Structure 1
Amino acid sequence: MKKVITLILICFLAVAVNAQQNTTAITGAPATVKLVSEAKPAAPVVETLVVKESEFNFGKIPQGKPVTHVFEIINGGKDSLKIVNVQASCGCTTPEWEKDKAIAPGATAKITVGYNAAAEGAFNKPVTITYNGTENKQLFIKGEVWKTPAASAPENKSLSDLKN
């Protein structure tokens, strides 16, 4: 048993000494010797569908007043781009775009997103663009709907005094 333990310790020490010697050799190597091959930087990923803004904040909007925003997209690829579908997350958000038009490289197109401000409170709605068959990109609209008063403001009687 002592021989097995001694043998294991000798192997461990041999590995440790060898590792220290290799480290010393690497540290003391001349500057002209390349020890590690340099990895080439990865080619930059070119976005096919580029959006100028991926999120739009309507801020505070009155209840019952629909609002719209136009998102501008650019074809950043080398081939024409086809928007297959633009899908909103609920019925209160309605996207519109030119369905049959291919977008040439470098050209722009517009997606108009409408929001029906019927429900009071904050909202954050995703809109998913499907293009070139299976690729997706998401846009977001957000804001806060404030409740409008049920009745109009009371009549200002002193206004008639000013007219006289």
Structure 2
Amino acid sequence: MKKSILLVCSMVLAIGFTSCEEKAVDKVKAENVEAAAERDANANRFPVMKFEEKVFDFGHIQKNEKQTHTFKFTNTGDVPLIVSKVKSSCGCTIPEKPTEAIQPGKEGEIKVTYNGSGKGQVSKTITINANTEKGVERVSIKAFVEVPEAATTAVK
């Protein structure tokens, strides 16, 4: 008896789930299919960030003397480049990311400001998260920070 009741309930549920008036195929919008097809066609294509330089040397600078450099690059790929995040290896270096997508063949910039902290030879890395094949690109700055003698004798 329990088996027959369970069988009847299962059949009623199966009929209920399969007898919907609307079909999933009828709900698909043509523009969504086109967008998905374009996305899938571009799935194996990536933008490429080609930098004019990956390392910039400010040379000898005075302590706490702000320095700014702009890393210029070109998107040599064939899809738009989107930079999602730019961060530096320390708080003394502030990078600015592009706000717009960089179209294929177009140029973009990442401005970096270093506040001149530290002493002696310093090197800072800027990490760029983008939709490139690797997903992460890196550039760096370096400088030799000179501390005035009056400052070094005052510290002693």
TM-score > 0.5, shorter chain as reference: yes
Specify the alignment match of 1:131 in structure 2: 130
Counterpart of 2:130 in structure 1: which amino acid?
Answer: Y
Counterpart of 1:82 in structure 2: which amino acid?
Answer: I
| Greater helix content | 2
Specify the alignment match of 2:120 in structure 1: 121
Specify the alignment match of 1:72 in structure 2: 72
Alignment deviations for residues 35-72 of structure 1 (CA, whole Å, 9 cap, x no partner)? xxxxxxxxxxx871111100001110011111010100
TM-score by length of 2: 0.63
Counterpart of 1:56 in structure 2: which amino acid?
Answer: F
Counterpart of 1:121 in structure 2: which amino acid?
Answer: G
TM-score by length of 1: 0.60
C-alpha distance in 2, partners of 1:144/1:47? 35
Specify the alignment match of 2:53 in structure 1: 53
The farther-off stretch of 142-151 and 59-68 is 142-151
C-alpha distance in 2, partners of 1:78/1:88? 28
C-alpha distance in 1, partners of 2:101/2:136? 16
C-alpha distance in 1, partners of 2:118/2:48? 36
C-alpha distance in 2, partners of 1:70/1:118? 19
Runs of 4+ in 1 over 6 A off after TM superposition: none
Identity %: 35
Q: What is the count of residue pairs matched by the alignment?
A: 105
Where do 5+ consecutive residues of structure 1 fail to align? 1-45, 152-164
TM-aligned CA deviation for residue 98 of structure 1: 2.4
C-alpha distance in 2, partners of 1:72/1:118? 24
TM-aligned CA deviation for residue 119 of structure 1: 1.8
C-alpha distance in 1, partners of 2:143/2:118? 12
Alignment of 1:131-150 (within 5 A): 131-132=130-131, 135-150=135-150
SS in 2 for 1:150: helix
Alignment deviations for residues 88-131 of structure 1 (CA, whole Å, 9 cap, x no partner)? 000011101223x0000000011111111122221011111110
Counterpart of 2:105 in structure 1: which amino acid?
Answer: G
What is the root-mean-square deviation in Å for CA atoms of aligned residues? Answer: 1.9
